[in-house]
Structure 1
Amino acid sequence: MQRVHFLKDSFLSLDVFHKQIVIGTAVAAGVALLYIQHRRCHNKVQTIPLGEGWWGAGEKPQSEDDKIYSFEVKTSDDEIKELQERLDKTRYTDPLEDAAFEYGFNSTYLKQVVSYWRHEFDWKKQVAMLNTYPHFKTKIEGIDVHFLHVRPTPKKNQKVVPLMIVHGWPGSFFEFYKILPLLTDSRNDLAFEVICPSIPGYGFSEAPHKQGFNSLAAARIFLKLMERLGFLQFYLQGGDWGSLITINMAQMKPQCVKGLHLNMFMSRKGFKVMLSLLIGPYLPFLVGLSREDVRRLFPFFEKNVWNILRESGYLHIQATKPDTVGCGVNDSPAGLAAYILEKFSTATDIENICREDGGLERKFSLDDLLTNIMIYWTTGSIVSSMRFYKENLKTNIDNRIDSKTRIFVPTGLAAFPGELMHCPKSWAQMKFHNIVSYTMMPQGGHFAALEEPQLLASDIIQFVRKVEL
């Protein structure tokens, strides 16, 4: 009898369990329908205003020089000598035992980086390498804007399309030096004429002299740059801040943007995200999640929320008081290296936090990493680059018009597993109305162009081919 009662109770329990699933599914479906209805009733704003701005020193003049000038990266013996003297005077603090990169940049490994920088790194050689591509400057809204303009070698029956690629922080235009030859390869049936600007306040682009220069201002300036170069229609590509800037460009002038490709992207907040987090681990197909989405997202707190909290301390500093910490890193080359390279460590692979060398040389060479740092050091642009966080985050960015505006241009999304926050296609569709391609990348992190240039280039090419067909 006990066994009978046990079986009966088990069947009853299963019946209750099945009912719970059915009820839960029905509730989920009901909420999803409410969400769809909400979205249909929501006013879809397709464009945002260009606005206007003046970022030069003093008052805006009646006219502005709109000529484009050739530019060459230069250095000098005095510049190198002064750097070496500062490196020789670096003060170090011993790391805690077995701390790896859990407390930040491990100073034992920092000594190795500084030693290589001081005794082996050849800045003059790297300057010559930087100048292998043509550089230019032009004044827009009162500030000099630096950019590369790289054309492919003409080939019969080859389609050439213009593409602007935009970097983020703490990167620079140099991030794209490995991907440029892949995009401009004359052996392909499709090649790109690439325009690669430095965000104002970064590298060789002049820093804004007035408060308020955010991604919307950068987007407007880059649209003016493309117009000045004679491009009526073009493609855009971006990651990090470059992602937001190119999104804003597509929102401002969708008629000019043939396609938008991103290797960092986020969704809107809403019912769909909440449902995905609640149901996704158990019934992912109900909320449009794939097995790979589940693997990358869950457990959500451990794989996303905790990592973001742990890795975003710099963001809170730069979004509030960038000039304070900027005083230190702008004055110490070793401090600048530690501050920047720590991001190249954990933003590439979160597991690098457990490695004493931060895993930096697993994916990058010290020459490449130090070249990027030298662009910040020689231009003294670290403080102005950090201010970009303050300008974009001084108010709730969710209340800005661009956050409430969907993107309607053809969009390609490359989801690299090393990004701190994974965004499933079902989430991305809430923001990007016309996703032409969504690729789950097999490897790579935040600095995709420098880390996995072949993967990123191939994804850009396949996306543009789909749009052009």
Structure 2
Amino acid sequence: MTVESFQIRVPDEVLDDLKYRLNHVRWPEPLGSTGWEHGTDLSYLQSLVTYWQEQYDWREQEAKLNRFSQFRSNVDGVDVHFIHERGKGPSPMPIILTHGWPDSYLRYQKIIPLLTDPARYGGDPEDAFDVIVPSLPGFGFSSCPDYRGINNSRVSEVWAKLMTEELGYRKFAAAGGDIGSGVTRYLASNHPELLFGIHLTDIGIIKSLMNPNDQAELSEEELHYKRSAQEWISREGGYMTLQSTKPQTLAYGLSDSPVGLAGWIIEKFHAWSDCKGDLRNSFSEDELLTNIMIYWVTNTFGSTAHIYYENTHSLPPLGRIEVPTGIAILPADVLTPPKVWAMRNLNITRWTSLPRGGHFTAMEEPELMAEDIRAFYRPFRTRMEKE
């Protein structure tokens, strides 16, 4: 296993093909002024595609991404792409940050400098981290040679080997959201000896609370969560049902149409962020399109959707997590977990309600997220020096 430097170099023919497809879109008939009620708003998507055609510059964004120290390493048959930025402080703590869907490793690009060089942003150099941000297997520039068995637990094993065998860290921190939350929790369950603690922004859908026969045993907070989760799944969970059952069917259309891909992804950024109905309140067009481009230029929508299938069909059960856990609760996130359940199933040592942010908080409110991560891990730094 060898760690090799990596730079993004998308072939010109891929960009030429994209340009052709964007210039030959067949738009659906408008349904009237429904806004986002029936899915991605037509007028917004048309304006975004116009920007994509006329102003967006992939080569400029590619150059910005290549400023990060990027690498690839084959771990358990997966060519893992990752950023590895060294911290600037007396004793940086290593931390691995895991993204989810429909984002990418770009979720964390804004907080990397805040964590590696806190003094530059008015913080304490004692809080510095070595930051590792991998692309999940089958996402972006990480390979996925065989989809079967690539679930959150399997990814956690790949991450453990990446951090210890490839990068040489004896112990490290871990954080994540969405799929990244699941991977981080399995990492804590499977390898607690490797971790100082874990930091999460969500706990996903808590399936154990969805059993219709257990209602009498649930607290009022858990009952509220159960009702909210059932309502959310019926209103918003169609994507999850499809990706968990027939991801390949969906992949044909979204691997062929960049506008179809954009419509599928953009709707989630609108629904799950703290944008208050206007995506421009939380993200620039360049941010949104660069995330979409990561999916498009690598042709990885199919493999990214397939992790939902594997998490539904092959994921082992997860017991109580004893590793110290910090949770940041975001006001506009999807399905805030009931604290009573979290305290019972994880070793919660920090529970923070942030004033702003949604599902993509590292992109939306990077300063708030970076500070919460720094604060959570501060007590563990003395322990790190002893170990």
Scaled by the length of structure 2, the TM-score of the pair is 0.91
CA–CA distance in structure 2, aligned partners of residues 443 and 408 of structure 1? 29
Q: Which residue of 2 is the match for residue 467 of structure 1?
A: 380
Q: Aligned to 1:425, which of 331, 339, 359?
A: 339
CA–CA distance in structure 1, aligned partners of residues 42 and 82 of structure 2? 35
CA–CA distance in structure 2, aligned partners of residues 467 and 421 of structure 1? 29
CA contact (8 A) 2:275 2:281 kept: no
CA contact (8 A) 2:116 2:131 kept: yes
1:313-352 equivalence runs, <5 A: 313-349=238-274, 352=277
Matched, 1:165 2:79: no
Alpha carbons of structure 1 residues 350 and 128: separation in structure 2 relative to 1, 3 Å: closer
CA–CA distance in structure 2, aligned partners of residues 300 and 229 of structure 1? 41
| Counterpart amino acid of residue 84 in structure 1 | K
1:182-197 equivalence runs, <5 A: 182-187=114-119, 188=124, 189-197=126-134
CA–CA distance in structure 1, aligned partners of residues 267 and 246 of structure 2? 20
Q: Aligned to 1:86, which of 21, 26, 38?
A: 21
Quote the offset at 1:279 in angstroms: 4.0
CA–CA distance in structure 2, aligned partners of residues 210 and 178 of structure 1? 30
| Counterpart amino acid of residue 270 in structure 2 | S
Q: Which residue of 2 is the match for residue 232 of structure 1?
A: 170
Quote the offset at 1:80 in angstroms: 1.9
Quote the offset at 1:424 in angstroms: 2.8
Matched, 1:104 2:29: no
CA contact (8 A) 1:329 1:335 kept: yes
1:386-397 equivalence runs, <5 A: 386-394=305-313
CA–CA distance in structure 2, aligned partners of residues 107 and 413 of structure 1? 36
CA–CA distance in structure 2, aligned partners of residues 237 and 95 of structure 1? 42
| Counterpart amino acid of residue 437 in structure 1 | R
CA contact (8 A) 2:175 2:199 kept: yes
CA contact (8 A) 1:95 1:106 kept: no
CA contact (8 A) 2:274 2:282 kept: no
Q: Secondary structure of the residue that 1:81 maps to in structure 2?
A: helix
CA contact (8 A) 1:70 1:135 kept: yes
CA–CA distance in structure 2, aligned partners of residues 205 and 74 of structure 1? 14
CA–CA distance in structure 2, aligned partners of residues 276 and 197 of structure 1? 40
Q: Which runs of 4+ in 1 moved over 3 A?
A: 266-271, 273-280, 297-301, 349-352
Quote the offset at 1:96 in angstroms: 1.8
Q: Which residue of 2 is the match for residue 455 of structure 1?
A: 368
Structure 1, gaps ≥5 residues long: 1-65, 281-286, 288-296, 353-358
| Counterpart amino acid of residue 390 in structure 1 | Y
Q: Aligned to 1:217, which of 154, 165, 169?
A: 154
Q: Which residue of 2 is the match for residue 151 of structure 1?
A: 86
CA–CA distance in structure 2, aligned partners of residues 243 and 300 of structure 1? 20
Scaled by the length of structure 1, the TM-score of the pair is 0.75
Q: Aligned to 2:353, which of 431, 440, 447?
A: 440
Quote the offset at 1:361 in angstroms: 1.2
Q: Secondary structure of the residue that 2:192 maps to in structure 1?
A: coil
Q: Aligned to 1:175, which of 85, 107, 125?
A: 107
Quote the offset at 1:106 in angstroms: 1.4
Structure 2, gaps ≥5 residues long: 383-387
CA contact (8 A) 1:263 1:415 kept: yes
CA–CA distance in structure 2, aligned partners of residues 413 and 248 of structure 1? 16
Quote the offset at 1:143 in angstroms: 2.2
Q: Which residue of 1 is the match for residue 135 of structure 2?
A: 198
Matched, 1:309 2:234: yes
CA–CA distance in structure 2, aligned partners of residues 217 and 279 of structure 1? 35
CA–CA distance in structure 2, aligned partners of residues 416 and 279 of structure 1? 21
CA contact (8 A) 2:274 2:356 kept: no
Q: Which residue of 2 is the match for residue 261 of structure 1?
A: 199
Alpha carbons of structure 1 residues 425 and 117: separation in structure 2 relative to 1, 3 Å: same
Q: Secondary structure of the residue that 1:455 maps to in structure 2?
A: helix
1:119-134 equivalence runs, <5 A: 119-134=54-69
Quote the offset at 1:94 in angstroms: 3.2
| Counterpart amino acid of residue 291 in structure 2 | N
Matched, 1:251 2:189: yes
CA contact (8 A) 1:264 1:414 kept: yes
Q: Which residue of 1 is the match for residue 302 of structure 2?
A: 383
Quote the offset at 1:426 in angstroms: 1.6
CA contact (8 A) 2:139 2:295 kept: yes
CA contact (8 A) 1:329 1:382 kept: yes
Quote the offset at 1:366 in angstroms: 0.5
Over aligned residues, Cα RMSD in angstroms?
2.1
Q: Which has the larger radius of gyration?
A: 1
